Amino acid sequence: MPSVRVYELARNLGIPSKDFVEELRSQGIEVKSHMSGLDEETAGLVSELYRERETSDEADVPPASDDLTAEVEAPSSVPATLKPAEPNGTTVVRVPEALTVKDLVDTAQVKAKDVFLQLMSFGTLPSINTVIDIDIANNVLLNMGKNITLVSEQGETLESVGDPSASEALEPRAPVVTIMGHVDHGKTSLLDAIRAANIQATEAGGITQHIGAYEVETAKGKIIFLDTPGHEAFTAMRARGAQITDIVVLVVAANDGVMPQTREAVAHAQAANVPIVVAINKIDLEEANPDRIKQQLTELDLIPEEWGGHTIFVEVSAKQEYGLDDLQEMILLQAEILELRADPHQMAKGTIIEARLDKTQGPVATVLIQKGTLGVSEAYVAGNHYGRVRAMKDDLGRKIKEAGPSTPVEVLGFAAVPSAGDAFTVVKDERRARQISSVRQEKQRTKQLSQSGRVTLDDLYRRISAGEVKDLNLVIKGDVHGSIQALWDSLAKLESEKVRLRLIHGSTGGITESDIMLASASNAIVIGFNVRPIPKVAELAEHEQVDVRLYTVIYEAISDVEKAMLGLLAPTYNEKTLGRAEVRAIFRITRVGAVAGCYVQEGVMRRNAMARIIRDSVVIHEGRIASLRRVKDDIEEVPVGFECGVGLGRYQDIKEGDTIESFMFEEIAPHL
């Protein structure tokens, strides 16, 4: 591409080459010398902006390049995205997550060259089609004195029809249910029973074999059951900020009771703040004892309604197909209490449930639509990836053309395989999707470079000082329940008004991936007592930056946590005066500078101690005693009644009659 030398451009502008080079560098343009070359478009933009700034004339200057300096005319009317001014006089404008310079010019009704000048001051050489971040755009408007605040539409997912807050725009939607519980308590059997009952009732029910979700039609409405999210996936999605489950059905065997994985399931559901419906399964067995199950669950804050609580309990038998209708009715009742509603008329938004790379179809993902309606050929963004819907399949594998709220669909057309829990958002065109994907990928790279990691016992004090940690969350795993209880009881005694302790989850058995993901989502520390993680779990902990501490002696665990909690408390210091000395002479020594000849009047002068210079009862300097000599010897300290030479490093403004006061700080150990 033809280029223009910097010195030629400077000569045309009538300014010295050296000054012009410094000017370009101050604007963030990389130039090595006056012999450096600039492409013609950049040269034209620089010339235009330089003349505009040097002159106070407001007349428009013809652009040097249509691509870089073409001024976009402001819209003749207020854009539709403008909202009424806030009480402080600031107008809120909703814009796409990724916007171009042209978008900013059109929306804010400002001159393109003014925006270019501001962006250049940020170290960016823009064009009219350059994609910029909303934060940068807000800084541009702030520097231009505009009372406009840009707010992201999150990929243009705001309702495109009507007022999103209007109740008439919202319609009831089906609840999304995840079934959780301990191994062998009948989760799979219950799912199969509901599935089979649905087939018999409708003769063509929603069976899912490949997308991890299916629909059940009842007399009172539709229910969406998720097969895929076990404990690990459930919390992995929550860790990514996704909330796809409306209700959790906790399955507990009536003949077994509350087991470790039952407690784990409750911890995951409560941490996600999702309502729980308890299904007491295997009620047909002789040894079944539903009352014992209810009593045990009250310890986990799941109190039945008949006992004055708020948790719905249903007795079922998957084998005998007993109570299935009651369970579905209670799920719909809970959904009615939640008032689940969504606007089917807006552009679709959902969450990735699972994704895979198919050998014949390429990247394929299961998407649960949460808002709006998804159609074929629509462009979308999923996490950091984008694409266009090439085809959709329902839970029976049949091709469909559109999917509304609470509908699970298999989507083809991804550019790459997304992650479970990624937000799926429809945008107006593929160009916009590509821009948003680019901005998100850049943000992710920046975040990864600046990420300092999750909370650890070693850095708790630093994080509490920065306001990142408010309390100490723990996940405790042990070999036996008694050890876990003993450890937690001992740790709970350490809690004080200054430091709070929270037990997120505690259970027996080895450290699992579920424990790591729960700790990751809750920013907790995992303590293992007489248990170890397998290599796969250790790798996950390292990837999620979760601090895992392993102990075999309970007192070591208590000691480490106590030390970490003490580290949360800011240390206090007490100043202790060591001595005072009078300056009686000043000696100038080559390569050393001024040395004060002193007489120690009180205490001692100590090398490397802190010192302050007092002149006429006013402190004029504080520093450190860099050198201390008596006669010709370097010594550590000089006691009262002796003379010495004191050097204060680079500080040279010492005069006869000054007083040098030596002191130190004593750290007072914190206590809970």
The predicted pLDDT at position 59 comes to 39
Secondary structure letter of residue 570 according to DSSP: P
What's the confidence (pLDDT) of residue 379? 92
CATH number at residue 477: 3.40.50.10050
Q: How many domains does the chain have?
A: 6
| Cβ within 8 Å of residue 242, ≥6 positions away | 351, 421, 422, 423
One domain for residues 227 and 307: yes
pLDDT at 197: 52
Question: At 637, phi and psi to the nearest 5?
Answer: -155, 155
Examine the fold and report which residue of 17, 44, 69 is the final residue of a domain before the chain moves on. Answer: 69
pLDDT given at position 216: 83
| Whether residues 188 and 331 fall in one domain | yes
Beta partners for 152?
A: 95
Q: Please choose, from the candidates 261, 264, 401, 247, the residue with its C-alpha nearest in 3D space to the C-alpha of residue 328.
A: 247
Q: Do 599 and 624 fall into the same domain? A: yes
3-class secondary-structure state, position 462: helix
Helical pair 260-271 and 513-522, crossing angle rounded to 10 deg: 30
How far from chain centre, in Å, is Cα 371? Answer: 23
Backbone dihedral angles phi then psi of residue 559, each to the nearest 5 degrees: -65, -45
Q: Is there a single domain that holds both residue 302 and residue 360?
A: no
Q: What is the CATH number of the domain that holds 52?
A: 1.10.10.2480
Q: Cβ contacts of residue 67 below 8 Å, gap of 6+?
A: 41, 127, 128
Can you tell me the distance from the alpha carbon of 581 to that of 599, in angstroms, rounded to the nearest whole number? 5
In a domain, 479, yes or no: yes
Q: Is residue 169 part of a domain?
A: no
Helix, strand, or coil (residue 307): helix
If asked whether residues 377 and 438 sit together in one domain, one would say yes
Instruction: Please state, in angstroms and as integers, the Cα–Cα distance from residue 66 to each residue in 8, 44, 59, 60, 127, following that order.
Output: 22, 10, 18, 14, 10
Length of the chain: 672
Residues 299 and 369 in one domain: no
Instruction: Give the domain extent around 288.
Output: 174-339
Answer yes or no: is 629 within a domain. Answer: yes
At position 459, the amino acid (one-letter code) is D
State which of 525, 544, 568 marks the end of a domain.
568
Identify whether residues 559 and 588 lie together within a single domain.
no
CA–CA separation, 616 and 265 (whole Å): 72
Angle of helix 134-143 relative to helix 112-121, nearest 10 degrees, comes to 110
Are residues 414 and 300 part of one domain? no
φ, ψ at 445 (rounded to 5°):
-60, -45
Distances (CA, A) of 320 to 192, 232, 313: 12, 30, 18
Of 568, 587, 614, the residue that ends a domain is: 568
Tokens of 272: 């996600």
Task: Name the residue among 132, 139, 81, 84 with its Cα closest to residue 106.
Answer: 81
Distances (CA, A) of 590 to 568, 593, 594, 595, 649: 48, 6, 9, 11, 13
Distance of alpha carbon 378 from alpha carbon 375, whole angstroms: 6
* 94 shares a domain with 35: no
Asked whether residue 487 is domain-assigned, the answer is yes
Are 388 and 411 in contact by the 8 Å Cβ rule? The answer is: no
Question: CATH number for the domain including 392?
Answer: 2.40.30.10
* Local mean pLDDT, 10-residue blocks, the chain (672 residues): 66 67 68 67 68 48 35 34 47 71 80 80 71 77 77 46 49 89 80 65 36 75 72 53 79 88 82 89 90 92 89 91 90 90 90 82 88 92 89 86 91 84 86 82 63 56 54 83 76 74 82 86 86 83 86 82 67 80 90 90 91 87 90 89 90 90 79 52
Q: First vs last Cα of the chain: how many Å apart?
A: 69
Give the distance, in angstroms, between the CA of residue 270 and the centroid of all CA atoms in the same chain.
Answer: 20
Q: What pLDDT, on a 0 to 100 scale, did the predictor assign at position 492?
A: 81
Contact 600, 628 (CB under 8 A): no
If asked whether residues 208 and 314 sit together in one domain, one would say yes
Which letter, b or e, does each residue of 628-637 get, where b requires 16 or more Cβ atoms within 10 Å of its Cβ? beeeeeeeeb
Do the domain assignments include residue 658? Answer: yes
- Flag whether the pTM goes above 0.75: no
Does residue 168 fall inside a structural domain? Answer: no
Give residue 72's pLDDT.
31
Same domain, 361 and 470: no
Same domain membership, residue 321 and residue 215: yes
Q: Which pLDDT does position 165 carry in this prediction?
A: 41
User: Does residue 304 lie within any of the structural domains?
Assistant: yes
Indicate whether 157 belongs to any domain: no
Q: Which two tokens stand for residue 282?
A: 């295997």
CB contact set of 227 (below 8 Å; sequence gap of 6+):
191, 208, 212, 213, 214
Beta carbons of 589 and 595 less than 8 angstroms apart: yes
